[in-house]
Structure 1
Amino acid sequence: MNIEYIKNEDIERVLIGVPSGHKHVRMIFILKNKKCLVFSEATIANVLRGFILVKTHPSISAIELKGVKLEKRKHGFAEYQLIEVEKESRKIEDEIASVLYSSGSTTTAVP
């Protein structure tokens, strides 16, 4: 796995909006190292759903989302979605810590 830990100081700018001739929002991160990451509205919505769940739920501290092709879905929803995986929060937290460690992250863990 090629790991790149992106922090605010690594970002030159972010563009958020509906491109001319399109219907859906895109989010574009332009990094100082000249890499450009483009995210679809469906991806943004799925990640935000997970983020809000972790930040606001009284007992859920981590979740994993997995890319799934859905045959049945609400009208207007993308065919591919990031769906919650049933896994213990602790296992996900440990995996996150392992990825951060592998990335060389200097972020200090809180005891």
Structure 2
Amino acid sequence: MTGTVRVRLAGGKTVTVAEPAWCVGRHDDDLDLVDLAHDGPETSLTVRTGRGPVEILHYSLSQYPYASDPGKRGVVGTVLLGTAWYEVGPEDMFALADGLVSRAAELRVLARELAGLA
């Protein structure tokens, strides 16, 4: 943690909470403390298409430090797949990265084939 932030909770009470360095500092007001989230910058992959750029594979870090379940208070990776966000740990994030590298190699083969047909 490198700083603090003041957040207005449901019921109007304001609290000061620790804020990690990676948090972008946007916190919703009027929530219960258990719903307070720290979110890192969201990153995505932009793909050029014939209809313009499309952002896919959004990901970031997230933490609910006051979650009612103490097992859910740690920092997790979050990944948008389709229309839903999924929480992933380090092993799953590495597996996702490895899968993307593998698919990238396959896409390069397909791109060479396409270039030969065009």
TM-score normalized with structure 1 length: 0.29
Between structures 1 and 2, the one with greater strand share: 2
Larger Rg: 2
Q: Which has the higher contact order (CA 8 A, sep 6+)?
A: 1
